[in-house]
Amino acid sequence: MFILKLKNKYNLTTFVFLLPWIITFIIFSVYPIIFSFGISFTDYTGLSPEMNFVGLKNYFSLFKDEIFLKAMRNTFIFVIGTIPFTTVISILLAVLINSKMVRFKGLFKAGFFLPSVMSMVVISTIWRYIYSADGILNYLLQTIGIEKNTGWLASPDTALLSIMIMNVWAAIGYYTIIFLAGLQSIPEELYESASIDGASNTDKFFKITLPLIKPTLFFVIAINTIRSFQIFTEIFTMTGGGPLNSTQTIVHYLYLTGFRQFRMGYASAMAYILVIIILIITLIQQRVLRSEY
């Protein structure tokens, strides 16, 4: 009886300490999710409390909206075009840093991780100047005889690609540190045994390293997929979705629709389409990458 009372007392104390977080979570996370899902079936504008139920009209209208379809296409290009490069480069850098031939490992880790602690607005602003007509990229290309570009972000042919390259550069440091943590959990004895058996470095990588970091690989790909589908700051800072919507993405178009055109119901429907896409892709990734461990 005494033990039961003591246990209830500790449970109550724990609940009291957690209560501020629970209240904050309900107000700022649970309520907005429920509210936004509800208004996705209405013509709510956000400028007045009035709203009319329109059923699935917002969802059907999205698939007739040319800008939304273009934003979806650009988002998929961005995701498919950045995640493989980010993942492969991060793994290779982590393996290199983890090897015995690299000295000053702390310096390399800090250097690669530096973009991750910088504001994406600052990074995007710096790269916008790099990509400008008079930027350092054009200057370097001219020094090796390549004709000057009018501005990498000003052309529909190069704008999205330019942002993708910047995103890969900014993201690899963060994922390198995560892969490095995964590599350091692999017992050194496995590599020593493989060396005695005459395994090459390539054999060790594909038969020891890669299988044992699969949980880390799944985590990195899943997180990177979600972040890539939600790309906003880079687009907002560097191009505003232009030129000619060539860099328009789902989240940026959602922002324009909701907070510039005040079509909150329509923008909420867009958000839930994005949630469904991310959920389906994450489940597929989980099934593929977790099937063997």
Give tens-digit pLDDT for 135-178. Answer: 888 888 888 887 767 788 888 889 999 999 999 999 998 999 99
Per-residue pLDDT at 236: 93
Please, are residues 28 and 36 in contact by the beta-carbon 8 Å criterion? no
Instruction: Give me the residue label for tokens 């860099």.
Output: 247
Residue the block writes with tokens 């009372």:
5
Kindly give the interhelix angle for 159-183 and 120-131, rounded to the nearest 10 degrees: 130
- For the cut 60, the answer to whether the pLDDT of residue 292 exceeds it is no
**pLDDT over 60 (residue 229):** yes
CA distance linking residue 170 with residue 124, whole number of Å: 10
pLDDT of residue 114: 83
Q: How far apart are CA 75 and CA 55, in angstroms?
A: 27
Q: Supply the DSSP symbol for 153.
A: T
Angstrom distance (rounded) from CA 169 to CA 165:
6
Given a cut of 60, whether residue 179 has pLDDT beyond it is: yes
Residue 271 has pLDDT above 90, yes or no: yes
What SS3 state is found at 2? Answer: helix
pTM: 0.86
Sole residue written with tokens 């789902």:
250
pLDDT of residue 199: 84
pLDDT of residue 282: 87
The H or E element spanning position 149 is none
pLDDT tens track for 58-110: 999 999 999 999 999 999 999 999 999 999 999 999 988 888 777 777 787 77
- pLDDT above 70 covers a percentage of the chain that reads 95
> Do 167 and 231 meet the contact criterion of CB atoms below 8 Å apart?
yes
**pLDDT band for position 4 (cuts 50, 70, 90):** low
Q: How far is CA 59 from CA 193, 253, 269, in A?
A: 58, 15, 6
Q: Determine the 3-state secondary structure of 18 from DSSP.
A: helix
Cα separation, 100 vs 232, in Å, equals 39
Least confidently predicted of 7-21, 43-57, 64-78, 269-283: 7-21
